[in-house]
Chain A
Amino acid sequence: MHDVVSEVVLSIRDLKQHFAIGGGLFSKKKFVYAVDGISFDVKAGETLGLVGESGCGKSTVGRTLLKLYEPTSGQIFFEGRDITKLGSKEMGDLRKEMQIIFQDPMESLNSRHTIGGIMAEPFEIHGIGTPEERRVWVEELLVKVGLPKTAADRYPHEFSGGQRQRIGIARAIALKPKIIVCDEAVSALDVSVQSQIVNLLLELQKEMNLALIFIAHDLSVVKHISDRIAVMYLGKVVEMGDAETLYREPKHPYTQALISAIPIPNPRHRNQRIILQGDVPSPMDPPPGCHFNARCVHATDECRVKRPELIDYDSQGHQVACHLVQPIA
C-alpha cells in the first residue's frame, strides 16, 4: 500500500453510550447499554467494517463518534484532536470533515426540492461559493457518482433506489470529508445495484483517500469492502482484526457462528452451519460474565461470572475477548 494510508483520522477510546429510558413517576430509570466501552482507530484510505446482530449498537457507535449523540463517557479524537467535549458551535467546521450515509438518504429530504437544490444545501449551510459556483459543483458531483448533469433539475421520486443512493453519496462527499460512516448504505439495494454502489465507494475512497466506517448486516459485502472488521455483541467489540484473517480464522465463538451462518451462494455447501441457539439478550440487562455465555457452546463456569477483556491475540492487531482464546506468544 502507499504511504498516505498510514495517518489515523479518527480514534475512539472506551466510548460509551448509555441511553436512559423510563424513569417516570412510577418507574425506575433504566439504561440501555447500547455502546459499552469501545476503542478503535480508522486510518485515511481505510475501511473499518462494523458487524453484529440487530441491536448490538452499530448505528449508535456511528452516530456517537460523529457526535450526533453526546457520548456518556470515553473519548473521540479527530486527527489527533480530542473532540469529545466540543459544543455544536465548535464542531461547526469539523462537521464538513465527517459525514454519514443512511439506508435511504432521500427519506429525510424534502421531496419538493430538486436534486440540485438538495445537493447545494451543504454548500449553503457552510456559506461556500456563489449560486453559480454551487451549480457547477453540483453538476460535477453528479457526474462523479455516475449520474447525468440533468439529474439536478429532477425530483427525488423520479429516481430508483440505487440512483438515490448515488445522490446520497454525492451529497456526503460534497464538502470533501475525511471520514464517512456508511450505515447500512447498500442494505436496501438489489444485488446488481448494490455492487455498482460498492464499486463507487471503493473508487471514491481511493481517489479521496477517505476513511470509511462501513456498517452492514450483509457479512459478504462487509468483508468485500473492509480492510479491518470489528465484530460487536451487546455493545462491545468481541473480536477485531484484518478482514481476511478474521473471516479465515475467526477466534471468538460468536464470530465463528456469525461467519458460519452466512448463506453461501453455492448449493454444494449446505449443512455446514453452526446454528446458534436462542436470541441476543437485551442490552437493558446484559447477562453477567461474558455477554455471549448463554448462547456459547464452549461456555465454562468462568464465562458465567467473569467478563473477558479484549486482548491482543497477535502482534498484527487481531484482538479477541474470550476466556478460551490465549494470545499466541
Chain B
Amino acid sequence: MKPLNTNPSSTEPTAGEQLGEVVLDVRQLETTFTTEQGKIKVLDGVSFQAKRGQTIGIVGESGCGKSVTSLSIMGLLPRPHGQVTGGEVIYKGQDVTKLPPEKLYEMRGDRIAMIFQEPMTALNPVHTIGEQLCEVYRLHRPEFDKKQRKEEAINMLRKVDIPAPEKRFNVYPHELSGGMRQRVMIAIALACKPDILIADEPTTALDVTIQAQILSLMKELQQETGMAIIFITHDLGVVAEICDEVVVMYAGRAVEKTNVFELFENPRHPYSRGLLNSIPRLDDKPKTRLNTIEGSVPSLAEMPKGCRFYNRCPDRQEQCEHQTPVPEMIANDHMVSCLRLKELS
C-alpha cells in the first residue's frame, strides 16, 4: 500500500483528446464557511478526477458536502463567507479556484456547465426557454448573429428530445412539465459543448420513468460529445446506472473512491458497506428488517475529532476517536480512508 500521491504526474494535461483523459483534477479541495459558530471546514481534502467521456459520481448523505464541492469547482460559493481554503482544481493546467472572477465567468456555461435538481429555480420564469438558450450564445458565442442563435437553440432543443422544438422555443418554463424543464436545463448546459458537465441531483425531483429518460439522454449526449460528467446523487441505484467511477463522501471527506464495479462488489470503507447494505432491494424478503447504520450524521459543530464516522461505525476502535484517517491507495484506482483498513480486509 502506498500513501496517496497528491501530485501524480499522470494527471498533467496531455495533447489530443482521448477518452479517459483527465479534464478536471480536484486535489485535496478544502472549503471553509464562516458562520456564527466560527469557521467550519465543510470540505476537508476531497480529491477526484473527471475524465473525458466518463462519469464520476459523488455520493453520500445529505449535508456531506456534495453541492459545496460543485459550487467550489464552479466558483459559485456564497460570498464572502464561503471560501476555498486549500487544495486546487486544475483545468487545462490552471487552478480555477485562483482565476479572477471575469475569467471564471467566461468559463462557466461554456467549458464547464452545471445543472441542478430543481430546474425551476435555475430557469428564469419571465423569459421563454428560447430566449434563455439564445442568451447563452449571446454571452459565449458573440460571433453568432440572431438567426444563428435561434437555429442553434432549436437544434439543442431537438437534441434533448423536446417534441416540436420550433413551437416550444416560445414557451415559458412554467408551461412545461418537470421532465421537460430538466431537458431544457440540459440543453442550456450543453449549448456550448462543454468539456465538463456537473449535474447536481438532476433527476432527484423526477418520477422514475422520467428519470430513466433523462439518464439515458445524458448517456447518449456524453457518447456524442465526449464530455466528462460529475454526477452528484444520494441514490446508489442511479450511481450503478450511470457512473464509471464513484467518490463516497461522509461529513465533508472522501472516504472511498474507486470504479463502480469495485464499489458495489468490494466496498472497503465501513461507511460504504453500511450504505450499500441499507438499501432495500427488489429481491429482499418482504417485510423483513433492513440493515441500518446506527445514529445519524453529527452536525459539523459536534463532529468527532478523529474519524468523522466514529460515532456510527460498527468497526470503530479507540484509536478512531482521536486519530484522523488518511487516504490510502489499495489498488491503482481504489482509495480508502479508514484507520482499520488492514484489519478489516
Contacts and interface: CB of A to CB of B under 8 A. Distances in A.
A159 B293 CA distance: 17
Contacts of B216: 273, 275
B224 interface: no
Given A224-B287, A276-B213, A191 B208 contact: no
B297 interface: yes
B281 interface: yes
Interface string B250-292: 0000000000110010000000001110111110101111111
A216 B241 CA distance: 21
B209 A270 contact: no
B61 interface: yes
B296 A191 contact: no
Contacts of A192: 61, 274-275, 278, 292-293, 296
A54 B178 CA distance: 10
Contacts of A275: 209, 212-213, 216
Contacts of B292: 192-193, 195-196, 199
B282 A247 contact: yes
A165 to B, nearest CB: 11
B296 A267 contact: no
Given A263-B238, A270-B240, A273-B216, A258 B296 contact: no
Contacts of A266: 240, 264
Contacts of B211: 261, 263
Nearest to A224: B280
Contacts of B282: 220, 223, 247, 262, 264
B163, B216, B237, B261 interface centre (most CB from chain A within 10 Å): B237
A272 B95 CA distance: 40
Interface string A144-170: 000000000000000011110000000
Contacts of B289: 199, 202
B236 interface: yes
Nearest to A54: B207
A232 B240 CA distance: 27
A99 interface: no
A227 B281 CA distance: 15
B120 to A, nearest CB: 14
Interface in A260-283: 260-270, 273, 275-280
Interface of A: 47, 53-54, 160-163, 190-196, 198-199, 202, 217, 219-221, 223-227, 243-244, 247, 257-258, 260-270, 273, 275-280
Given A191-B236, A192-B61, A192-B293, A221 B261 contact: no
B223 interface: no
B5 interface: no
A191 B163 CA distance: 36
A278 B164 CA distance: 12
A190 B278 CA distance: 10
Given A190-B62, A190-B297, A270-B240, 13 more contacts: A54-B178, A161-B296, A191-B275, A199-B292, A217-B207, A262-B237, A263-B212, A264-B237, A267-B243, A273-B216, A276-B213, A279-B179, A279-B180
23 contacts: A53-B209, A160-B297, A162-B296, A191-B234, A191-B278, A192-B275, A194-B278, A202-B288, A217-B207, A224-B290, A247-B282, A257-B209, A261-B208, A261-B211, A262-B282, A263-B212, A263-B241, A264-B241, A266-B264, A267-B260, A267-B261, A270-B240, A278-B163
B129 to A, nearest CB: 16
B62 A161 contact: yes
Given A267-B261, A269-B240, A273-B216, A258 B286 contact: no
A192 B234 CA distance: 11
A224 B276 CA distance: 16
A149 to B, nearest CB: 18
A271 to B, nearest CB: 9
Given A266-B240, A267-B240, A273-B216, A220 B209 contact: no
Interface in B146-194: 163, 177-180
B145 interface: no
A269 B282 CA distance: 13
B241 A198 contact: no
Contacts of B107: none
A279 B274 CA distance: 36
A261 B280 CA distance: 16
B239 to A, nearest CB: 8
Contact of A193 (B235, B286, B296): B296
A240 to B, nearest CB: 16
Contacts of B288: 202, 224
A198, A263, A280 interface centre (most CB from chain B within 10 Å): A263
B251 to A, nearest CB: 12
B34 to A, nearest CB: 21
6 nearest CB pairs, A to B: A263-B237, A195-B290, A192-B293, A224-B280, A190-B61, A261-B212
A199 B287 CA distance: 9
A227 B280 CA distance: 15
